[in-house]
Chains A and B, each alone.
Chain A
Amino acid sequence: MLRIEQLSKVFYPGTVNEKTAIEYIDLDVRDGDFITVVGSNGSGKSTLFNLISGTYPVTGGKIILNGKDVTNSPEYRRAFTIGRIFQDPTKGTAAKMSIEDNMITAFKKGMKGLGISLNASKRGYFKEELKQLSMGLEDRLKDNVGLLSGGQRQALTLLMTVLSRPQMLLLDEHTAALDPRNAQIVMDLTTEFISRYRLTTLMVTHNMQHAIDFGNRLIMMDGGKIILDLSQEEKHSLTVPKLVKMFKSIKNQEYVSDEDLLTP
């Protein structure tokens, strides 16, 4: 599905602010994988997502999506395959437009024509789809999205992303800005949609328990590198303390080897 080869990203190269955000990452995401991604702030998770979706140009390496090299293709074109949801609930919807107008934009990916697709049957379909969010949005099709709460907006974003039929989902801490109850609702919907539409998924989370509970694979990032890649079987017996211990021991090894370099 997605193959990343020797990917690297350096910000402000050649200046005093030069910063390596991603250091030669290789990653093979198989069809149907649901990978959780953990790592501390600045470990390169978001940069990795920005590179995959095409927000930033890469410094080196290749991104291969469905066997095609998309390293230099623009973000909007990759969006046909990749659906991305951000932490900020306002990023996925247009606040100044009604729910139905938002949904019709998401309904079919790509450039739009002069046809009028928003008709009674579409409205009925949108209502049915909105019902599964159980947030009462099905009765508010004509309300502006700006009037909705953060949880409602994120659930709507999720629904719109799924309606646009991507093959792959990139979830960038998409429940982190919500209160616990809404976060739970959105997370339940997410897993429901992922299994129903068999979406290949990468999910960044700061919730270690979520990282362990969801998905069939877990990767941990640090300093722009993937330092841990656990399969389904390895995840099975994993607990949060074990995961933290693994992280610390890997960090220690690095630290020790750094020390080795300093002593003659």
Chain B
Amino acid sequence: MELAVFVAGAIVCLLGAVGVITSENPVHSALSLVGTLIGVAVLFIAQDAEFLAAVQVIVYAGAIVVLFLFVIMLIGVDRSEDVQVEPLSAQRAAAAVLGLVLAVGLVTIVSLGSVTGTPGTADVADVAASNTEAIGRVLFTEHLLAFEITSVLLVIAVVGAVALARYRDAAFVDAEHPGDEIPEPVVEAETAEVSQ
């Protein structure tokens, strides 16, 4: 039974992932992503991690993909992109072969290898305790530092978005003649305010 659930979840995951990179329309890519995320949620349930599965569906499949779709619609890239460009000849074939080698190697290793580590104590200690409680305990004890510094990533996301979204007032400096020398502009008054 567990194997059947795993296989079903894995197939959904992989099909979604393939769909993300092969769809010519970004909207289709975003929708394929939902398949991958739901598949991961199924795998979480197969591992008795109900809390993670719920979070996966609510946050990722729900909120984040909707946000993706919003952005795709807002900046107007909801049209087909040409994904057939191949800057290096035969790079797709090479990537496919190398990817296959890596996949076969990993599958072999994981099926021949065995889990030698002792299981974590978080869920063993109290079988009756809920999944959510166990995760909460681990986050605030063993992995407190990792949990706390994750917040820095959120700050970077905000600052990074602001940094990349501003300064668009002037023309590209290398769009027309890459490598050409750019003429020195007229020096502006020292106190000139930056136009917001």
Answer whether A and B are interacting partners: no
